[in-house]
Chain A
Amino acid sequence: GAGVSQTPSNKVTEKGKYVELRCDPISGHTALYWYRQSLGQGPEFLIYFQGTGAADDSGLPNDRFFAVRPEGSVSTLKIQRTERGDSAVYLCASSLTGEGAGNTEAFFGQGTRLTVV
């Protein structure tokens, strides 16, 4: 596709449920990032993939959060036992390359707005 695609655009779920958020990066981009953004705040880093591997997952808040990128393209962010505090916009970004890239632009998807009720 022309840009980073995220689905669904909106997700409402009940507290305690499991959710999956999908990101389809720009074709050929090896670096993929997940962020979480709350109202009035900047995007907060969650996890970075270089190819298929999670190169840095230091931003994941706890073990309820997990992400995969099995074929080095599409990524899925998985949240178990959702809590009301997980409500936020989840943003995915991709860039042509990651490490050593210097000033490489990150392109963002439009995000998934997650609401936990």
Chain B
Amino acid sequence: RKEVEQDPGPFNVPEGATVAFNCTYSNSASQSFFWYRQDCRKEPKLLMSVYSSGNEDGSFTAQLNRASQYISLLIRDSKLSDSATYLCVVNKGSYIPTFGRGTSLIVHP
């Protein structure tokens, strides 16, 4: 079993739609969680950290469920510019970011 698992998609949604991605992780001792965004042929960039109490950043909401070992990302009112690959990241131990394979999102007009 992979350490971090994501549905690769693609998720193909119209502008304005709400879309949610889930990610599961295998190491119950993991302490730090993130979502990164990666555009085509570009490097990954931090989208947001994920906190135990859940957190929002604009139209993005991240949730962590430690008991079930999954992380979610909700995107509301999706925009064309949200089209990208979203990478779930869990820190191995406390310091090595471990990436899922990414979920591809395509937002169309």
Do A and B assemble together?
yes
| Chain A interface residues (CB < 8 Å from chain B) | 31, 33, 35, 40-45, 48, 50, 56, 91, 93, 98-103, 105-106, 108-111
- Assess the A91–B46 pair: CB atoms within 8 A: no
A58 to chain B, nearest CB (A): 9
Q: Which residues of B contact A103 (CB under 8 A)?
A: 32, 34, 49, 51
Q: Which residues of A contact B101 (CB under 8 A)?
A: 40-42
Residue in chain A with minimal CB distance to B88: A42
Interchain Cβ contacts under 8 Å between A and B, 23 examples? A33-B96, A33-B97, A35-B99, A40-B8, A40-B101, A41-B101, A41-B102, A42-B6, A42-B100, A42-B101, A42-B102, A43-B99, A45-B92, A99-B95, A100-B95, A101-B94, A103-B32, A103-B51, A105-B34, A108-B44, A109-B43, A110-B42, A111-B43
Interface: B66 (CB within 8 A):
no
Residue in chain A with minimal CB distance to B104: A40
Residue in chain B with minimal CB distance to A101: B95
Q: Which residues of A contact B94 (CB under 8 A)?
A: 99-102
Q: Which residues of A contact B31 (CB under 8 A)?
A: 102
**A-B pairs with lowest CB-CB distance, top 3:** A42-B99, A108-B43, A98-B95
CA distance A48 to B93 in the complex (A): 12
Q: Which residues of B contact A41 (CB under 8 A)?
A: 101-102
A48 to chain B, nearest CB (A): 5
Chain B interface category by residue count: 20 to 34
| Chain B interface residues (CB < 8 Å from chain A) | 4, 6, 8, 31-32, 34, 42-46, 49, 51, 87, 92-102
CA distance A35 to B102 in the complex (A): 15
Knowing that A43-B99, A102-B94 touch, tell me 16 more A-B residue pairs with CB under 8 angstroms. Answer: A31-B95, A33-B96, A33-B97, A41-B101, A41-B102, A45-B97, A45-B98, A48-B95, A50-B95, A56-B96, A99-B94, A99-B95, A102-B31, A103-B49, A105-B46, A110-B43
Given contacts A102-B32, A108-B45, contact A45 B96 (CB under 8 A): yes
